[in-house]
Amino acid sequence: MSFNLQSSKKLFIFLGKSLFSLLEALILALLPKPRKNVAGEIVLITGAGSGMGRLLALRFARLGSVLVLWDINKKGNEETCKMAREAGATRVHAYTCDCSQKEEVYRVADQTYKAFLPAMIANDHGHLVCISSSAGLVGVNGLADYCASKFAAFGFAESVFLETFVQKQKGIKTTIVCPFFIKTGMFEGCTTGCPSLLPILEPEYAVGKIVEAILQEKMYLYMPKLLYFMMFLKSFLPLKTGLLIADYLGIFHAMNGFVDQKKKL
């Protein structure tokens, strides 16, 4: 009898909290979202020497952040550093670093997830941003290795978030970004079968959305918005229906025209 009462109490508490969280989310969705101030905050950007990394650096420079720029390309990274100062950043530090080599990362600044997360936990302050991909949400023909890495990145970031949540580290935020192809040159030649619904993204647009998601402390950012709906459909549609949708959107042949930049060199 006592066990049943405890189970019933636990169920009612769960239902009450769930209803409250849904109402809270609905109300917040209707209200203007506040943006946090990142002036003076240290922002570490990997791959800052070009592309998305450079654009992110310039955005945060205009917001008054202290920038730490990492890239294997010393010349490109120093150019970004110069551009960031011209954009208004007063403190910018550029380091040459191959982020694929653990020893390099520790040599440069001792700042990987493993190294800086304990400091964030100690101060209950920080924001972890993971740039995953739509290829980290669904498998893509011709992209098995890339999908594997992006699924791993998504899962790792989400797991770290849950660890901080369980430890009641409310000051540590996480944003996981999953964009479709972006026109940075990385996926040159790739196509979409339905540009109106699933467009290849402009870098400036994608960076603007990423920065906005960080400032609003948004957990998940999918670009374009169709991806939210697609993930919802994936959870319950029959496999054949899902494959038909993927075929209609051109996913099966998206990589057919891909130009490998490394082979071009």
Contact call for residues 1 and 7 (beta carbons, < 8 A)? no
Contact call for residues 190 and 181 (beta carbons, < 8 A)? yes
Burial 46-72 (b: 16+ CB within 10 A, else e): bbbbbbbbbbbbbbbbebebbbbbbbb
Q: Which amino acid is at 265?
A: L
Active-site residue flag, 146: yes
Quote the tokens at residue 208. Answer: 């603007």
Entry field: residues in the chain: 265
The burial of 160, by beta-carbon neighbours within 10 Å (0-12 exposed, 13-18 middle, 19 or more buried), is given as middle
Given 106, 146, 205, 220, the catalytic residue: 146
Q: Catalytic positions, please?
A: 146
